[in-house]
């Protein structure tokens, strides 16, 4: 059962334009969501996170939006740069009840930013 | 650089063997997590330790075990290795084990079982 889904395996965007990466989840107990960027043969790099009590969090060129009613979150990158080309993972955790914040990951979206 | 270190970077071994992967968390972090990334399963949570004690278990095989030492570094032991254990193994750390904590990942250990 895939609790965190990234339905777009890949996305291609022109440099300078907006990149929008999407993520859906099924577990309503998730209360913290994160986006990681990953290059081949490297570990995931933390980008930005959002708590379930918020609907938006912004950090520089990166903004994450959370729609709890739709169980959907998205990552906006504006403007996109060639160095943003990587695999982006959405992850979620549900602390309540388990006293652990283990992450459940989506399958990733490969972003290619064309110069 | 996340501040999380993992050794070795690459490991090649044979079926039936045993290996140990090592992780040092970021300075000040008490929680260590192990994840496995394989081609067909994506990034999967294996196990979490907090300040030396096991906190949570995920999809970890009985042939695998882990521990966290008093200096907070952690080791993941994989035994009776099978071809299907070939994967990237990542360690992550966070300050504590509360809600809404960000995990920072190490560079990973690539294990190849021949």
**pLDDT digit string, tens, across residues A3-50:** 999 999 999 999 999 999 999 999 999 999 999 999 988 999 999 999
Assign A2 a pLDDT band (cuts: 50, 70, 90): confident
Comparing C-alpha atoms, which of A54, A55, A36 is closest to residue A45?
A36
Instruction: Characterize B67-97 residue by residue with b for buried, 16 or more Cβ atoms within 10 angstroms of its Cβ, and e for exposed.
Output: ebeeebebbbebeebeeebbbbbbbbbbeeb
Residues ≥6 apart with Cβ < 8 Å to B62? none
Comparing C-alpha atoms, which of A86, B37, B36 is closest to residue B47?
B36
pLDDT by residue (tens digit) across B81-92? 999 999 999 999
Residues ≥6 apart with Cβ < 8 Å to A73? A22, A23, A25, A33, A50, A64, A65, A66, A67, A90
- Supply the pLDDT for residue A114: 96
Cα–Cα distance for residue pair A93/A30, rounded to 1 Å: 5
Cα–Cα distance for residue pair A39/B6, rounded to 1 Å: 17
Q: Does the CB of B34 have a partner CB in chain A at under 8 Å?
A: no
Partner A, chain B 74-103, Cβ-Cβ below 8 Å: 90, 92, 94, 97-103
Residue with tokens 């690459």: B10
Q: Does B41 have pLDDT greater than 80?
A: no
Q: Which residues of B touch A106 (CB under 8 A)?
A: 42
- Supply the pLDDT for residue A96: 65
Q: Which helix (H) or strand (E) holds A66?
A: strand A62-67
Q: Does B1 have pLDDT greater than 90?
A: no
Q: Does the CB of A89 have a partner CB in chain B at under 8 Å?
A: yes
Cα–Cα distance for residue pair B33/A98, rounded to 1 Å: 15
- The C-alpha of A6 sits at a distance from chain B's nearest C-alpha, in angstroms, of 12
Cα–Cα distance for residue pair B66/B85, rounded to 1 Å: 16
Q: Does the CB of A104 have a partner CB in chain B at under 8 Å?
A: yes
Sign of CA dihedral B54, A33, B73, B90: positive
Residue A95 C-beta-side C-alpha neighbours within 13 Å: 13
Nearest-Å Rg of the Cα atoms of chain B is: 13
Q: List the single residue in A with minimal CA-CA distance to B39.
A: A107
- The C-alpha of A46 sits at a distance from chain B's nearest C-alpha, in angstroms, of 7
* Nearest CB to A100; choose among B2, B55, B92: B55
């Amino acid at each position: 059962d895939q609790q965190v889904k990234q339905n777009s395996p890949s996305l291609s965007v022109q440099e300078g334009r907006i990149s929008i990466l999407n993520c859906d989840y099924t577990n309503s107990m998730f209360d913290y969501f994160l986006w990681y960027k990953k290059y081949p043969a490297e570990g995931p790099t933390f980008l930005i996170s959002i708590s379930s009590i918020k609907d938006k969090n912004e950090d520089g060129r990166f903004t994450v939006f959370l729609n709890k009613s739709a169980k959907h979150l998205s990552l906006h990158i504006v403007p996109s740069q060639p160095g943003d080309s990587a695999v982006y993972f959405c992850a979620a955790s549900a602390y309540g009840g388990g006293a652990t914040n283990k992450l459940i990951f989506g399958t990733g979206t490969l972003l290619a930013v064309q110069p | 650089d996340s501040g999380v270190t993992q050794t070795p970077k690459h490991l090649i071994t044979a079926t039936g063997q045993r290996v140990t992967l090592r992780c040092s968390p970021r300075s000040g972090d008490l929680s260590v997590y192990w994840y496995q990334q394989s081609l067909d399963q994506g990034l999967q949570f294996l196990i979490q330790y907090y300040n030396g004690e096991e906190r949570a278990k995920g999809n970890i095989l009985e042939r695998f075990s882990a521990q966290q030492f008093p200096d907070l570094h952690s080791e993941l032991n994989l035994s009776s290795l099978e071809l299907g254990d070939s994967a990237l193994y990542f360690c992550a750390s966070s300050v504590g084990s509360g809600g809404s904590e960000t995990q920072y990942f190490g560079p990973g250990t690539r294990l190849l079982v021949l």
